[in-house]
Amino acid sequence: MELTLLVIFWYGILHAFGPDHLSAIADFSVGKNQRKTLLITFLFALGHGVSLFIFAKLLESVEISEELLAYGDIVSATVIIGMGVYLLFMVITKRIQLQKHSHENKEHIHIYFGKSHEHNNDSTAMTSSLSLGLLMGAGGVRGMLITLGAVSNGTVDLTMVAAFTLGVMLIFGVFGLFMLYINQRFLGSLTNVRRTFSIVGIISLIVGTNILLG
């Protein structure tokens, strides 16, 4: 059993390196502070693991063709492309703003969408991150079922999903720290903020399009 969990944990690590996952995390965490960035990556990984568990359980009792499972990849690609289009739209229409102010002689930078700065959108970002993780789990069902079929006769339980989610969370967390470094080191001016959001948006378009064409 320990070997099975180790294999699934390793698969979670490999699965997390998918460009669609990293693009999604970048889309949501760019411009966020430390707490938001780490929470977003955690919720995305959690949603992804729960989604895969639900889909895998459904597929244990329902016979679904390989062609139908392939639509999961289309869902993931569409989400990534949509996020890329959204970020580029926000940049082009100049709806990404930056505000600086000081508290106790420490400068704070707030990056926000829209014409005015509001503090009530934290829960929306968290919910969106969890929902995106749940939605994009459809794109990983095929690979997870192949792995589970090889090591456990296709039977899925919460322990296996926990091992998979921990593997995913490890890589997402590291990438979240990388995004946090970008946020803290390079997003000190509005020009850099809009440039970074443009790059992330373009990468999302490329990744999503590549998945669809692949």
Q: What is the pLDDT of residues 34-47, one digit of tens each?
A: 788 888 888 888 88
pLDDT band (50, 70, 90) for residue 147: low
pTM summary value: 0.73
94-112 in b/e form (b: 16+ CB < 10 A) is: eebbbeeeeeeeeeebebb
> How much is the mean pLDDT over the chain?
76
Alpha helices in the chain (DSSP H): 2-16, 19-29, 34-61, 66-69, 71-92, 122-136, 141-152, 158-186, 190-213
HSE at residue 83, side-chain half, CA atoms within 13 A, is: 29
pLDDT digits 0-9 by tens, 58-102: 766 666 566 666 676 777 788 889 888 988 998 899 888 777 666
> Taking Cα atoms as reference points, which of 108, 93, 84, 97 lies closest to residue 191?
97
> Is residue 130's pLDDT more than 70?
yes
What is the model's pLDDT at position 88?
Answer: 92
